[in-house]
A and B are shown apart, each in its own frame.
Chain A
Amino acid sequence: MNERVLRIVAPACVLALGVVLWDFIVRINSIPPYILPSPGLVLSTLVADWPILWSSLLATLETTIEGLALAVVGGIGLAMLFNQSRLIEHSLYPYAVILQVTPVVAVAPLLLIYLPQQAAVLACAWIVAFFPVLANTTLGLNSVDHNLADLFRLYGASRRQVLWELKLPAALPQMLAGIRIAGGLSLIGAVVAEIAAGSAGAGSGLAYRIAESGYRLNIPRMFAALLLLSFAGIAIFALLSWLTHFALRRWHESALTRES
């Protein structure tokens, strides 16, 4: 079978099988919906609750995209700064690492005390998303071909020229890989913060809906919201993958499709 067809058909079969099995188990054991809703019920809940779920999805996506945008700007900016000054790099890098290794779930409640809710949620998304951008971009900026760097030196390139004409283009593949990871992490950060904020009440994002539905034992809606969250994650990943491919398609090995 054609490789491309296989890549779509095979996981689709697994999905279909899983859904059928799920439905079968629910029916056979007559499991009540407040313990495990059937796939059909989840879908009909998704349709019935669409207005409320849709606006929640938009709220979560907005936070995610803003968090990602700030992570991209902050991560790349900081990496460029580190690359220009050893002193700044040594002074700040440990704190970037600390920010990364401290579980965001533990930080979120504190942020919610000190910041307005929307800002706190955004801060969480940013905290988890910016590090991969920073780390990957730093790696890319430092792995420039030595001979090319010598060539720039030979032709008397300025620091600015070395950065813009050599280091940043050379770092683009790693930078984009970092951004692709950051997209997923930004969603996770937003969700974690929304859950943490959940009991405080003022939220409106999808994760908040999940927490709220949990308290009300509205299990079908929890599943529906979860389904939407997964789709959001997949969509973000697919979009960023496409962007990476588009940006590198002419020159980078990763975007190359070889015929064998």
Chain B
Amino acid sequence: MASSGPAPIVSLRGVGKVFGNGLRALDGLDLDVREGEFLSLLGPSGCGKSTALRIIAGLSEPSQGTVTWRDGADARRGIGFVFQEPTLMPWTTVFGNVFLPLKLAGADRAAAAPRIMETLSRVGLTDFAEAYPRELSGGMRMRVSIARALVTAPRILLMDEPFAALDEITRFKLNDDLVSLWRELRMTVVFVTHSGFESVFLSSRIVVMTPRPGRVSNELVIDTPNRDAKFRTSAEYAGYCRVTSEALHAAMGAGAAA
């Protein structure tokens, strides 16, 4: 996977993960995350995508191999994480939830307010700052979760199948918005999904993983300037989807049993 260009923000080399119950989730995973890219980890469920993401985030330690950050271990401070569920605190408002990362860093509520409101407007929730999570729809809760991850202006945003539980219309809308956020904020995103279509629409690069144990099977670069609603119905998109789907099938065959 030697490729030219700037040094990756974070590199995984030979990363393996064996859980306490003896289950080997990852084995010899090599992965580079490059500055500014939208990288998707694509694979069938149970192939270790979440495990890989948690290892990158430092929420889980690898059993073998190394995780190297270009800017030293402190770079972990610049991570934003979005889980599959919105994972909001039900006892506080949308504002309170988005304030959390700043609060934990010792910020003052009043001083943080402009930044929070700006982030909320980015995800289209300006009018819902004082609403409680249970008053919101699933899609809106996920927007709050994204706003919470963005409010610290992270260097790298890790997302673990954030839209898997949403209906198709909401998912498309959030996909569109995520692409424009990625463009505007020039962030680096690592996005976990089991949907080839979603990964093609969003990503600049797709890494396809084999199941049990998880490792990289294949890599695709999606090089297109026009990522908008029209792209979704274009022949170009269909072409990429076919290639991705073939790569996914090849990966499933390569793994022991899916």
Contact = CB atoms under 8 A, between A and B. Distances in A.
A246 interface: no
A251 B132 contact: yes
A54 interface: no
A156 B59 contact: no
Nearest to B57: A154
Interface string B71-109: 000000101010101010111100000001101110000
Given A251-B90, A251-B134, A156 B104 contact: yes
Contacts of B133: 251
Contacts of B81: 150-151, 154
Given A150-B59, A250-B132, A157 B104 contact: yes
A93 interface: no
A148 interface: yes
Interface core residue of B79, B83, B132 (most chain A CB under 10 Å): B83
Given A154-B81, A165-B103, A148 B134 contact: no
A154 B79 contact: yes
Contacts of A145: 87
B105 A169 contact: no
Nearest to B81: A154
Contact of B87 (A148, A165, A251): A148
Contact of A161 (B92, B104, B132): B104
B91 A169 contact: yes
B67 to A, nearest CB: 15
A177 B132 CA distance: 22
Interface string B149-161: 0001000000000
A155 B100 contact: yes
B124 interface: no
B222 to A, nearest CB: 29
Interface string B48-74: 000000100111000000000000000
A155 B132 contact: no
Interface string A162-180: 0001100110100000000
A152 interface: yes
Given A151-B81, A161-B104, A169 B57 contact: no
Contacts of B105: 155-156
Interface bin, chain B: 20 to 34
A148 B89 contact: yes
A256 interface: yes
A27 interface: no
Residue from A148, A155, A156, A170 having most chain B Cβ neighbours under 10 A = A155
A251 B103 CA distance: 21
A156 B134 contact: no
Contacts of B79: 154
B91 A251 contact: yes
B104 A147 contact: no
Interface string A126-163: 00000000000000000001011011111111000100
Contacts of B152: 155
B104 A169 contact: no
A114 to B, nearest CB: 43
A169 to B, nearest CB: 5
B135 to A, nearest CB: 9
A173 B85 CA distance: 21
Contacts of B100: 151, 155, 165
B87 A147 contact: yes
Contacts of A250: 132
A145 B97 CA distance: 15
A165 B91 CA distance: 10
A146 B7 CA distance: 34
Interface of A: 145, 147-148, 150-157, 161, 165-166, 169-170, 172, 250-253, 256
Nearest 3 CB-CB pairs, A to B? A147-B87, A155-B104, A169-B91
29 contacts: A145-B87, A147-B83, A147-B85, A147-B87, A150-B54, A150-B59, A150-B81, A151-B87, A151-B100, A152-B104, A153-B59, A154-B59, A154-B79, A155-B100, A155-B101, A155-B104, A155-B105, A155-B152, A156-B105, A165-B100, A165-B104, A169-B89, A169-B91, A170-B89, A251-B90, A251-B132, A251-B134, A252-B90, A256-B134
Given A150-B81, A156-B77, A251-B132, 5 more contacts: A145-B87, A148-B89, A151-B81, A154-B59, A170-B91
